[in-house]
Amino acid sequence: MIIEVSGISFLLNYLVAIIVSIVVALVLGLPLLPDKPKRFSWVNSAIYPTPIIALGVLAILYALKIVWIYDGMVLAVIIGILAALFVKYLFYYVFPNPPSVDSEINNDKDGNGLEGDNL
């Protein structure tokens, strides 16, 4: 049985997933915005990457034709909650922080810029 869902329902479900993920992330204690300067901040926040992960997972499920009860509204709420929990507790295990430039310079033993090469 193929369930047809209208475009308005998809848009509404995406908005619900965004709102739920941001609200749950704020309740869990994530900051609303990342540290300054925002462009170089690697701190998770309620605005980024929480709703983007929720939208991505929801889009994958919709592409696989997985629409649950109420035209996917319950699925959008569940995905919003799970995305916020993922960003709060599991994000750094799956996507570790990139090494900083300062730590690479400090780890250089012989000072010639060639780490590990003893020429």
Residue 62 has phi, psi (to 5 degrees) of -70, -35
Non-local (6+) Cβ contacts of 68 within 8 A are: 74, 75
Q: What is the pLDDT at residue 2?
A: 57
Query: Residue 68 is which amino acid?
Result: W
pLDDT tens track of the chain, all 119 residues? 456 678 898 899 999 999 999 999 999 999 998 877 766 667 888 998 999 999 999 999 988 988 888 888 999 999 999 999 999 999 989 988 777 666 555 555 555 555 555 55
Tell me the whole-structure pTM to 2 decimals.
0.76
Query: Can you give the residue ranges of every domain in the chain?
Result: 7-107
